[in-house]
Structure 1
Amino acid sequence: MSKPAKLSGGRFQQADYSIGRYAARPPSGTTLEDVMHPEYFQNELNALKPGMLINVLSDDFALDCDVRVLTVTKTTAKVRLIRLYQEGEAPKVESGDVTDALVTWGGPNHKWRVIHNGTVIEHGFSTQEEAEAAAARYRAALKG
Structure 2
Amino acid sequence: MTDAPALLQRRFALAEYTRAVYFATVEQHITLENVLQPGFWQHVASQLKPYDEIIVANDDCSWRAQLLVADVWHQGCRVVELSRVDMTAEDEGGNDVADDLRVKWRGPVHRWCVVRTDGVIMRGGLENKNTALENLAAIAQERAAVGN
What TM bracket, shorter-length normalisation?
0.5 to 0.7
> 1: CA distance between counterparts of 2:84 and 2:17?
25
Aligned equivalent of 1:33: 33
1:18 lines up with 2:7 in the alignment? no
Task: From the two aligned structures, give the one with the greater strand fraction.
Answer: 2
Show the 5 A alignment for 1:33-112.
Answer: 33-87=33-87
Percent identical pairs in the alignment equals 25
Q: For structure 1, list consecutive stretches of 5 or more residues without a partner in the other structure.
A: 96-120, 123-133, 138-144
> Do 1:25 and 1:58's aligned partners in 2 also have CA atoms closer than 8 Å?
yes
Residue in structure 2 matched with residue 4 of structure 1 by the alignment: 6
Contact persistence 1:66–1:84 (CA under 8 A): yes
Residue identity in the other structure for 2:7? A
Residue 87 of structure 1 deviates from its aligned partner by 5.0
CA distance in 2, matches of 1:56, 1:32: 9
Q: 1:20 to 1:81 in 2, by over 3 A?
A: same
The 2-side partners of 1:56 and 1:43 are apart by: 15
Distance 1:63 1:29, change over 3 A: farther
C-alpha distance after superposition, 1:95-123 (max 9, x if no partner): 9xxxxxxxxxxxxxxxxxxxxxxxxx79x
Greater CA radius of gyration, 1 or 2?
A: 1
Aligned equivalent of 2:115: none
Equivalent runs, 1:119-134 vs 2, <5 Å: none
Unaligned runs of 5+ in 2: 93-129, 138-148
Shift of 1:5: 2.4
Q: Which amino acid aligns with 1:22?
A: Y
Question: Does the aligned pair in 1 maintain the 2:61–2:87 contact within 8 Å?
Answer: no
TM-score, normalization by structure 2: 0.55
Task: Summarize the alignment of residues 110-121 of structure 1 with structure 2, pairs less than 5 Å apart.
Answer: none
- Residue 6 of structure 2 aligns with an amino acid whose one-letter code is P
User: Equivalents in 1 of 2:54, 2:36: separation in Å?
Assistant: 11
1:112 equivalent in structure 2: none
Q: Distance in 2 between the 1:20 and 1:36 partners?
A: 18
